Chain A
Amino acid sequence: MRMTLKFTGKARSATGGLWKRWLGRFVVGVGCAYLCAVGFLFFMSGSSGRLDASLAQSIVVGGLPLLIVALFALPGRGTGPSVLAMLAVALPHPTLF
């Protein structure tokens, strides 16, 4: 998809479409990243993990923005299988404990 700097009607609607798609991708990405972070924290606070709370927080806060950027950078359309796969990985974590 190409758009010129001069916004014709068609190009403007294409920009709007792309903007909405990226906004959707961003929102879904943030949600997935947050769920992954929560899952990681629950996993680490469980009996099998036992990671120091401060260390776990530090890892999560470092990883969360990286994950948001990585999910946003994933190729393909935002609501594709990659995001669903991330959700599938993240969702079971809170329910485990």
Chain B
Amino acid sequence: MRDVLRTRMGWLHAWVGFVGGLVLVVAFTGGTLALFDTEITRWMQPELAALPAAAMTGQALDHAGAQVWALREKGQIVFLNLPSARDPVLRILHYDGHAFVGPVLDPRDGVEVKSRATEGGQLFFDLHQSLYRGPVWGNLMTEAAGIGLIVAVISGVIIHWRNLVPDLLLFRPFAAPGRAWLDAHIMAGVLLLPFVTMMAYTGAVIHAPRLFPMIGAGHAAKAASRAGGGERRDGGAYAPLAPIFAQAEEIFGRGRIGFVMFGSGTVSFYRADAADFAMTRDHADFSAVDGKLVGVTRVGHGMRRLDGAMRGLHFIRWGTPGLRWLYFVGGVVGSMMMSAGLVLFLMKHRRGQGGGVMLGLAETLALAVTLGLPLAALGFLWGNRLLPADLAHRAELETRIFFLLWLGALVHAALRCFRGAVRHGWREQACGIAVLGCALPFLDIVSRSGTGVRLHWDLYLGVDACALGFGLLALWGQRMMVRAR
């Protein structure tokens, strides 16, 4: 092996790709699922399926506003999420450290709809952006992994520069396992090069203040500082929200208000993330007492919208369902490409070194993130439907089920990998995914009976079809592993 550019880039691609890849597979898988976080949350609250589709009324908004003010006077920091095409209910939300959770209100009258407590799809969002480790260290890790992904992409392009176009067409799934994995890794990598680079870059820019804390707190801190705390305001009635909402719609346009923040003496109506390509948090502030307009904050044009444009590209909240599905497919293939990279790394080192503790550890971690995470995600959905709806602390229990299953997958992977039965470990976890995924639609139908199960394309069918698809894919994968023995 000569110390030449291509060899160096090979080392950089392999090691940065593997170490970063262990984090990136989690971040990419979590982000892919988080594209449909609202839909997953609704799937996990099947009681809402019985709610007839209805537009929000002024009475509902006023009633919801009164409830929020009452909660704020008790010292709680809450805000009001307005109905949208993706989530046609009112929600009073607070941040529990990982997700925005809270009661669901009927958009017709603002009365609370009895639904189970869950973190829903936001678990995957938090896993994606901070590995569920909080906004400091978690964000820092995903940020570093994002930079690592760009390094791996650049070094990968340098390695394959001469063969980029032929690699697009070359895939031999029935060749020797090493060759098939390499073909899959390279072909998916080349095909998804623009998407993966864009996602890594925009994600890294969004969380850049974590990597460079000396340059300012950025978007999140600005929004938080505007939100204010749950201050008490003694005496006096608050203006009803419905007339203020009408004024806000005149400013930003009909159907373009996303949520309402309540400050000390002010109510702020924020433009919805889906209203524009750039996520700029434009808002109109009104007096909470008489409902008069206090001021309008709009992010200007040009460079000032750059931050919002990065967020818009990354979060795709403005996108149509078709575009979101395209991102989803890109995310799934991207996760598979990274997983294939992990497998290739392990195959190469297993050939070179044989066994060893470090190799066993690497194989354990690779298996736990590649198959253990989807297994835990499916178990999370199962836990949601199997736990009683009115159980105390059920949202935390659901999350605990997810992490316990993931830990179980890690322990199982360690037992198999350190005993030299790696292939068995992969097969068994694939079987687990196949069982949980293929049976999820039946669980959905059984546990949703009484809320009006209908066989047409809706979010329930979408989640069920995806789970079934991943289950069948895992079944096929484990059969391939049996044949390749």
Contacts and interface: CB of A to CB of B under 8 A. Distances in A.
Interface of A: 1-3, 7, 15, 18-19, 22-23, 26, 37-38, 41-42, 45, 52-58, 60-62, 64-66, 68-69, 72-73
A54 B303 contact: yes
Nearest to A52: B303
A65 B205 contact: no
B3 A41 contact: no
Given A41-B214, A54-B306, A56-B215, A73 B5 contact: yes
Contact of A61 (B1, B154, B155, B204): B204
Given A41-B214, A66-B154, A73 B8 contact: yes
A64 B143 CA distance: 12
B307 interface: yes
Given A38-B214, A69-B151, A58 B2 contact: no
Contacts of B325: none
B9 to A, nearest CB: 7
A60 B2 contact: no
Contacts of B310: 54, 58
B150 A65 contact: yes
Interface string B174-188: 000000000000000
A35 B15 CA distance: 22
B465 interface: no
29 contacts: A1-B2, A1-B3, A18-B1, A22-B12, A23-B15, A38-B212, A41-B212, A41-B214, A52-B304, A52-B306, A54-B205, A54-B303, A54-B306, A54-B310, A55-B306, A56-B215, A57-B208, A57-B209, A57-B215, A61-B204, A62-B201, A65-B147, A65-B151, A65-B154, A66-B154, A68-B151, A69-B155, A73-B5, A73-B158
Contact of B12 (A60, A64, A69): A69
B11 A58 contact: no
B265 interface: no
A1 B303 CA distance: 50
B75 interface: no
Interface in B1-59: 1-3, 5, 8-9, 11-12, 15-16
Contacts of A53: 215-216
Interface of B: 1-3, 5, 8-9, 11-12, 15-16, 147, 150-151, 154-155, 158, 201, 204-205, 208-209, 212, 214-216, 303-304, 306-307, 310, 352
A57 B6 CA distance: 30
Given A53-B216, A72-B12, A7 B352 contact: yes
A62 B1 CA distance: 31
A18 B212 contact: no
Contacts of B151: 65, 68-69
Nearest to A94: B214
| 7 interchain residue pairs of minimum CB distance | A65-B150, A54-B307, A57-B208, A54-B306, A52-B303, A65-B151, A61-B204
- Majority SS of interface residues in chain B? helix
Given A2-B2, A7-B352, A61 B201 contact: yes
Q: Which of A45, A55, A69 has the most CB of B within 10 A?
A: A69
B428 to A, nearest CB: 32
Contacts of B12: 22, 26, 69, 72
B210 to A, nearest CB: 11
A52 to B, nearest CB: 4
Contacts of A65: 147, 150-151, 154
A69 B158 CA distance: 10
A69 B8 CA distance: 10
A61 B208 contact: yes
Contacts of B1: 1-3, 15, 18
A77 to B, nearest CB: 9
B304 to A, nearest CB: 7
B3 A18 contact: yes
A22 B11 contact: yes
Given A26-B15, A38-B214, A61-B204, 12 more contacts: A2-B2, A7-B352, A26-B12, A45-B215, A54-B310, A57-B205, A60-B212, A65-B151, A68-B151, A69-B151, A69-B155, A73-B158
B392 to A, nearest CB: 44
Contacts of A61: 147, 201, 204-205, 208
Contacts of B215: 41, 45, 53, 56-57
Contacts of A42: 214
A57 B212 contact: yes
A19 B1 CA distance: 12
Contacts of B214: 38, 41-42
A81 B179 CA distance: 40
